Amino acid sequence: MSKPVKPVVPPPALRSEPDTFKDRAEANIEFFEPLVEYMDDVADFVDEQADAAVAAAQAGDLPPIAGKALQLLRVNAGGTALDFQAVMSGPTDATAGRIPVNHLNGIFGLGAAGNPPVSSDLLTTTTPVSIVRVEPGTANKPSGVTYGVAWYGKINASDPAILLLDQVTGEIWTLTRYSSVWGSWVKQLSRQDIATQLEAEAGADNTKVMTPLRTKQAVIAKQAVKAWVNFSGTGSVAILDSHNVSSITDNGTGDYTINFATALESANYAFVGSCSSSGGEVLALCLQGGYSSAPTLKTASQIRLHALNAPFRSAADAQNASVIIVQ
């Protein structure tokens, strides 16, 4: 039975239009007969369609639903019948033919509203793009990692790449698979891998990276020469060049106190000095004390030296003097 055709409703009869009132009133009265017939045809059509649906179900056009929980009903590839199709159960579900409904809207991948799922084994995820959580029970994670988040990407059907962020230390790890063979986890350089000044100066850690500044600090800390200075000792004392010397105090003729910028480890250091005079005398730099009543001054912070005329042991200003402190 084909779908019934709805009868045409006649125009209303209006007393304000006396010329058409009579004819339209008769037409409206006559309309009830086709209307009743139309309603009867509609009822028959509905019954017929319902009977056809029941017959189709009873004939097996609809597949049984037993054991098909959470699956989708679809038209088969040939367009001849209906069947059920399973969807992805999670980000690591790589079963062929499963529908990635949840993955596409972000439940199992990028943009997920909730926490990503926990991975039981980081090497089993084959989803093209996904995020998983790493916990203590996750297999094949980098040694020492307890909690983290892993991002997956794929360049082809068999070779994924993994980027892992260690939630505890902030370290970043990467892992790739090439020609279906997994490589090894590689830790990427981070701030934690750069040596501090104390680590650089101690020189005991073989795992940290040295920057140019840290290298300079380590060399300075380990070098034997802890301080040196070249200065002019006539008139106003002037430092010409130096290392770890902050200033020189002029105590009088040929009498100089060298002040260190950073204190040495102790006062048990050695020093070497040389100087020259403008008058041609042979001068020697000696530790203060001995020929005068001035006390000897040799501490971790400063040293007091005298420039002496070697033959006569008299003080003389040094035109140019150099001192090296070794410890």
Query: What does the pLDDT look like over 33-68, one tens digit per residue?
Result: 888 899 998 898 888 888 777 666 665 566 777 888
**Where would I find the H helices in the chain?**
18-58, 101-104, 197-202, 212-222
- Sign of the C-alpha dihedral computed for residues 283, 284, 289 and 295 taken in this order: positive
Q: Long-range pairs for 59-67 at CB < 8 Å and ≥24 separation?
A: none
- The beta-strand segments (E) located in the chain are 72-75, 82-85, 130-134, 148-154, 160-166, 172-178, 181-182, 186-187, 225-232, 238-243, 245-252, 255-260, 270-276, 283-287, 302-309, 314-315, 320-326
Tokens for 226, please give them.
Answer: 């802890």
Domains delineated in the chain? 1-61 (no CATH), 101-187 (no CATH), 191-221 (no CATH), 223-326 (2.60.40)
pLDDT of 312 reads: 63
pLDDT for residue 109: 47
Point out the residues of the chain with pLDDT beneath 50. 103-107, 109-112
Kindly report whether the global pTM for this prediction surpasses the value 0.85: no
The predicted pLDDT at position 104 comes to: 44
Q: What is the residue type of 94?
A: A
